[in-house]
């Protein structure tokens, strides 16, 4: 799928709410998308899908139908809520049967997660104000530590041994580094940080370092450094203003993209895009947070992560102006007590918060 653009500003979106609060926040994201379409004069075709959910699993014994790929491959993007209900379906079944399938089979290798301290949100870090923390975590999204290769020997006995492989390919490492260097090159700070742990994980991590060094040669205008993940995590807390683009493996990117948002006050508003930069397949946009079974069904979930993910999707579709307007609307809503949700000390419920963002778009 090529991004629609210019005269043909019509986008086909696959809407997949999934489980738990996904079902509550996705409609708010859609509400904002529709308001943006009206205001900025593009058209949306919204197709709802009930798969990639544990409800679907309970009815069909699988997370997605056999032809799921055909059903969504022609969409311009996938707007995803959250998946997983561990009380009903084991996590590895629900996640590997849906979210991780999308990432891998649609080659969404670049997982991009902005870490930004927003107005109206209090950082747990003393003295940090909006503007002080503003960077991207770029996470490899298709290989690395999330492999399915490994197994058990002498199962159930005292001699039991369990192994699992990390797998990195030249293709996989180089393409995410290229994406991250290009993102750094486009940004005013032109700085990239690579996260590894080469003094402990002595084969795969030095390989990643080696490829960073090689890739850096093609981006002479980008300054770069590298940290071991342990001390890097410490710097997220101590010096979050130091970062611009942080690139990391699947596991390290996962950790840093929860830790970063925690430093900006909450993971409850953090968005993410799982991108196929070549646009051969649809990219997927979803909150960093999960399905939160503990608060699902109460209408109190914070819809901002979903709405911010919608803004990232609009940018990806070529609607940069609409994307910027949605983010500006989010900032205004977050700044007002009565429009923020309760997790941020506000008094709004999910719908009221979503409606407030849509209303600002006019």
Catalytic residues: 146, 197, 230, 254, 258
Burial track 259-282 (b if 16+ CB lie within 10 A, e otherwise) = bbbbbbbbbbbbbbbbbbbeeebb
Torsion angle of C-alpha atoms 133, 313, 351, 265, degrees rounded to 10: -10
DSSP state letters, 171-211: HHHHHHHHHHHHHHHHSTT-EEEEEE-TTTSTTHHHHHHHH
Is residue 43 involved in binding ligand IPM (CB under 6 A)?
no
Out of 237, 299, 337, 338, name the contact with its own copies by CB under 8 A. Answer: 237
Q: Determine if 95 is a binding residue for ligand IPM (CB under 6 A).
A: yes
Closest CA to 354 of 77, 21, 30, 44: 30
Minimum separation from the CB atom of position 339 to ligand IPM (A): 27
Residue closer to its own copies, measured from CB, 148 or 347: 148
State the residue for tokens 């979903």: 306
**Residues in region 249-268 near ligand IPM by CB under 6 A:** 254
Question: Taking CB under 8 A as the criterion, which residues in 87-106 touch its own copies?
Answer: 91-92, 95-96
Q: Which is nearer to ligand IPM, 52 or 95 (CB)?
A: 95
CB 166 within 8 A of CB 144: yes
Contact pick of 5, 58, 199, 298 for ligand IPM (by CB under 6 A):
199
- Per partner kind, with CB cut-offs from 5 to 8 A, the member of its own copies, ligand IPM, none near residue 196 is none
The answer to whether 208 and 196 are in contact (CB under 8 A) is yes
Given candidates 200, 299, 324, 345, which one binds ligand IPM under the rule CB under 6 A?
200
Tell me the closest approach of the beta carbon of residue 205 to its own copies, in angstroms: 8
Of 31, 116, 197, 316, which one interacts with its own copies (CB under 8 A)? 197
Q: Does 143 bind ligand IPM (CB under 6 A)?
A: no
Place of tokens 């890739």: 215
Rule CB under 8 A: say whether 294 interacts with its own copies.
no
- Among 301, 307, 264, which residue's Cα sits nearest to residue 287? 307
Nearer to ligand IPM, 272 or 350 (CB): 272
CB contact at 8 A, 318 and 5: yes
- Footprint on residues 203-222 left by its own copies (CB under 8 A): 203-204, 206-207
CB of 219 to ligand IPM, least distance (A): 27
The rounded distance, in Å, linking the Cα atoms of 2 and 4 is 6
Residues that bind ligand IPM (CB under 6 A): 95, 199-200, 230, 254, 288
């Amino acid at each position: 799928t090529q991004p629609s653009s210019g005269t043909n500003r019509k986008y086909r979106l696959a809407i997949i709410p999934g489980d738990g609060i996904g079902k509550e926040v996705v409609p708010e994201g859609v509400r904002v998308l529709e308001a943006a379409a009206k205001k900025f004069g593009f058209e949306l075709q919204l197709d709802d899908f009930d798969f990639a959910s544990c409800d679907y699993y309970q009815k069909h014994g699988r997370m997605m139908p056999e032809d799921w790929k055909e059903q969504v491959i022609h969409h311009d993007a996938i707007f995803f809520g959250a998946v997983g209900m561990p009380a009903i379906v084991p996590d590895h079944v629900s996640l590997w049967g849906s979210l991780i399938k999308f990432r891998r089979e649609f080659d969404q290798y670049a997982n991009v997660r902005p870490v930004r301290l927003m107005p109206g949100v209090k950082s747990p870090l003393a003295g940090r104000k909006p503007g002080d923390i503003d960077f991207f975590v770029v996470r490899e999204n298709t290989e690395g530590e999330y492999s399915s290769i490994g197994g058990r020997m002498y199962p159930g006995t005292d001699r039991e041994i369990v192994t699992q492989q990390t797998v990195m390919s030249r293709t996989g490492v180089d393409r995410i580094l290229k994406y991250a260097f290009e993102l750094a090159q486009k940004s005013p700070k032109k700085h990239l940080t690579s996260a590894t742990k080469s003094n402990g994980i002595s084969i795969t991590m030095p390989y990643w370092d080696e490829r960073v060094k090689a890739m850096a040669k093609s981006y002479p205008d980008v300054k770069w450094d590298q940290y071991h993940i342990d001390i890097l995590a410490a710097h997220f807390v101590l010096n979050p203003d130091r970062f611009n683009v942080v690139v990391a493996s699947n596991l390290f990117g996962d950790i840093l993209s929860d830790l970063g948002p925690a430093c900006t006050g909450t993971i409850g508003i953090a968005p993410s895009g799982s991108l196929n930069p070549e646009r051969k397949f649809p990219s997927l946009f979803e909150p960093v947070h999960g399905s939160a079974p503990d608060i699902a069904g109460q209408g109190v979930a914070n819809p901002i992560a979903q709405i911010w993910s919608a803004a990232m999707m609009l940018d990806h579709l070529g609607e940069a102006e609409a994307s910027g307007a949605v983010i500006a609307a989010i900032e205004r809503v977050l700044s007002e007590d009565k429009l923020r949700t309760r997790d941020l000390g506000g008094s709004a419920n999910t719908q009221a918060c979503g409606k407030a963002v849509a209303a600002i778009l006019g």
